[in-house]
Amino acid sequence: MKVILKKEIPKLGKRDEIVKVSDGYARNFLFPKNLALKATPGNIKQKEEREKIFQRKREKDKYKALQIAEKLKDARVIIEREMGEEGKLFGVVTSQDIVREIERKFRVRIDHRKIELEEPIKTIGIQEISVKLHPQVKITLPVEVKKKKE
């Protein structure tokens, strides 16, 4: 029997994939747990429509990411923080701080999880950070942390 998987099942297939399984496996395991649909012509057509919609959404997201990348290609983010006597910051600069500054300065909204920081910035200076706007669109952005003027 051919079925359309609703979820990824290890050693069987990925979501929305059409696979051939035994009748008993489909009736006794996949259908009761709502893991698959019977591969009827109607269900196959619905699957293809979902794929087209998902593909258009992915292209739209990539286009938006390219627009944001174009706005930020020559950008430089400057964050001012108070610091102690030995040149260490009071607190740290996190991805949320960087996103807030980008929104304020460039009027671009980015999710803070798209900023790739191994750890928060703890020192003064310039650091190159990666911003993954889309799986296929990634930019580097210089972030300068300065001493706050009193």
Residue with tokens 């964050």: 79
Say yes or no: 80 and 57 in one domain.
no
Helices (H), the chain: 23-25, 41-72, 95-106
CA distance to 25, 59, 129, per residue, from 119 (Å):
47, 31, 11
Q: Which domain holds residue 13?
A: 2-68
According to the model, what pLDDT value does residue 150 have? 67
The CATH number that applies at residue 55 is 3.40.5.10
Q: What mean pLDDT is predicted for residues 97-104?
A: 93
- 38-80 residue pLDDT tens: 999 999 999 999 999 999 999 999 999 999 999 998 889 999 8
Q: What's the structural domain count of the chain? A: 2
- Two tokens at 88? 């260490």
- 130-144 residue pLDDT tens: 999 999 999 999 999
